[in-house]
Amino acid sequence: MNRRTRITRHQAEQLLDAPTGADELSALLRDVAATPSSGEVPGEIEALAAFRASAPAPATGSDSLMSKFVRRAVTAPVATAGALGLALAGGGIAVAASNGAHIPLISGNHAHPTHPAHPTKPAHPTHPAHPAHPATPTATSGAEGTPKPSLVGLCHAWLAHQGTHGKWQSAPAFTALVTAAGGSDNVSSYCTIAVSKPTPSGHPTHPTKPTQAASPTHPAHPVHPTHPPKPSPTAHPTHPVKPTKPAHPTKSPHPVKPTKPSHPAKSGKAAASTD
Amino acid sequence: MDEDTLRALLDGDEDAFRTAYRDIHPRLLRYLTGMVGVDDAHDVAAEAWAHAVRDLRKFRGGVDGFRGWITTIARNRALDLLRSQSRRPLVDVDPADHTGTTPSAETLALEGIGTDEALELIRSLPPEQAEAVLLRSVMALDAKTAGLVLGRRPGAVRTAAYRGLNALQERLAERAGDISGPSDAEGTR
């Protein structure tokens, strides 16, 4: 234990990379370095439900084209509200916001990379980078009566939590669900119906899959290390809608600056000791 | 979490997301505990995940970048919260205010000091040093990625972390020095 010995810069880097020493400082750094959990982690159900609701669906090639369209529409966060018939006049944002939810997506430039398949017509064929108005006709078609697969997923998460304490009801992941049900008080009854009602795909707990996709990902064995997460082109050669690429295909490790990338962290205390 | 997992996650694979969540979330909670305190850390982390999941398509990069990306989101949320509460990151915590959270010399004499105590000790550092140490150790970001999160040069992050570690070393030594005698506490407990 070299108590009084100052750590060199090199040693500091080594300690931070791999605190393997027997000294107290190494032990402290090991203590704070959380190891990945093998079991369920708090918030996992909600996070997974949100992921399920907005992630690109793994391709299986079994569902109808329509399901794919619906899925795509639902996938876009704003379109989720649109699919519920709440955002058609832009009111969905107000409704969601008044529920106390933080909706950062509204403020940022939301370039959803793709709106590949629009069966009737592309909403904004010439403005692929303006997906703030993705309320296409397809977004609402079939919305009445049958909850979207993503909402059903959220319902399962909600129902799984029932009877437990905590603030999980106000979790951001549930915002769309609460909005859809018309308030948190209604969610339970809404969900009870939703989970018992077959979805268009017939599998309430499994989001509908795109009919086919270029990315040959197998859901169960995702072994495609070199595949960029490129949304797949659609099966419609007659719709050569170009924006199958993200609007801003930056390549840096931090291509996506969250709305406010560099805060002056300690406003009061300037970086006097920077170097 | 490896690059394959990240690719699968970005392709929509739920198992991959679960793996990533279980890897990153515990770290995020600890980092945020260091930023905003344990009471708000869970909420901020949940908001960060919700935000990240929504913006997943916008992400490009590797595992390090992904960790840095969600850390940046979480950090911005944490700073927003602190601003809204007119608090300042890290410095609002005076270890003396928290009974029992200041590591006792006896605890330190044992093997390790426990996660909470270790975090408290880091939080007692100057904010800049504390955050550099947290990002490097808790979030396991390299200096470059941590620099991107903080909006600073990697060299500045290294310097802050280096100073932070030396300060930690000193504090540990001071506390250990308080109990120079009873090393047998280890055996009798």
pLDDT at B113: 61
Q: How confident is the model at residue A185 (pLDDT cuts 50, 70, 90)?
A: confident
Mean pLDDT over residues B118-134, rounded? 91
Please report, as a single letter, which amino acid is at residue A233: P
- Per-residue confidence (pLDDT) for residue A166, from 0 to 100: 62
CA of B36 to nearest chain A CA: how many angstroms apart?
13
At B93, the pLDDT band (50, 70, 90 cuts) reads very low
Between B50 and A61, the higher pLDDT residue? B50
Question: Which pLDDT does position B164 carry in this prediction?
Answer: 96
Taking only the tens place, the pLDDT of each residue in A65-98 is 444 444 444 444 444 443 443 333 443 333 333 3
pTM of the model: 0.51
Chain B residues in contact with A25 by the CB 8 A cut-off are: 165, 168-169, 172
**Which residues fall within 8 angstroms of residue A196, CB to CB, at 6 or more apart?**
none
Answer whether A76 touches B (CB < 8 Å).
Answer: no
Q: How confident is the model at residue B7 (pLDDT cuts 50, 70, 90)?
A: very high
| Residue A29, min C-alpha distance to chain B (Å) | 7
Q: Mind telling me how many Å the CA of A135 is from chain B's nearest CA?
A: 17
User: Among A33-47, A102-116, A160-174, which stretch is predicted with the lowest mean pLDDT?
Assistant: A102-116
DSSP chain A: --SSPPPPHHHHHHHHH---SSSHHHHHHHHHSPPPPSS--TTHHHHHHHHHHHSPPPP-S-S-HHHHHHHHHHHSHHHHHHHTTSSTTSHHHHHHHHTT---HHHHS----S-----SS--SSTT-TT-TT----HHHHTTTSSS--HHHHHHHHHHHHHTT--SSGGG-GGGHHHHHHHTSHHHHHHHHHHHHHSPPTTS-TTSPPPPS--SS---SS----TT---PPPP-S-TT------S-SS---SSS----SS----SSSSS--TT--
Quick one: pLDDT at residue B73? 97
Structure tokens at B119: 């975090």
Torsion of CA A200, A202, A205, A206, to 10 degrees: -80
**Distance (Å) of CA B169 to CA A160, A162, B182:** 46, 47, 20
Q: Do B61 and A246 touch (CB under 8 A)?
A: no
A32 touches chain B (CB under 8 A): yes
A218 touches chain B (CB under 8 A): no
Residue the block writes with tokens 């200041």: B102
pLDDT greater at residue B158 or residue A56: B158
How many CB atoms are closer than 10 A to CB A103? 18
Residues 26-45 of B with CB under 8 A from A: 26-27, 29-30, 42-43, 45
What pLDDT is recorded for position B131? 94
CA distance B182 to chain A (A): 16
On average, the pLDDT of chain B sits at 82
* Percent of chain B scoring above 70 in pLDDT: 78
Q: Does the pLDDT at position A172 exceed 80?
A: no
Q: Which of A24, A48, A223 sits opposite B176 (nearest CB)?
A: A24
Q: Report the distance separating Cα A112 and Cα A80, nearest Å.
A: 14
Q: Tell me if chain B has a CB within 8 Å of the CB of A98.
A: no
**Which site among B54, B91, B129 would you substitute to test the A interface, given the most A Cβ atoms closer than 10 Å to its Cβ?**
B54
A265: nearest CB among B8, B11, B89: B89
The residues in B 83-122 lying below 8 A from A, measured between CB atoms, are 88-91, 108, 111-115, 117-119, 121-122
Q: pLDDT value at position A131?
A: 40
Is the model more confident about B47 or about A127?
Answer: B47
pLDDT in tens, B102-125: 444 444 434 456 778 888 889 889
A141-158 per-position pLDDT tens digit: 333 455 565 677 777 777
- ipTM, two decimals, is 0.78
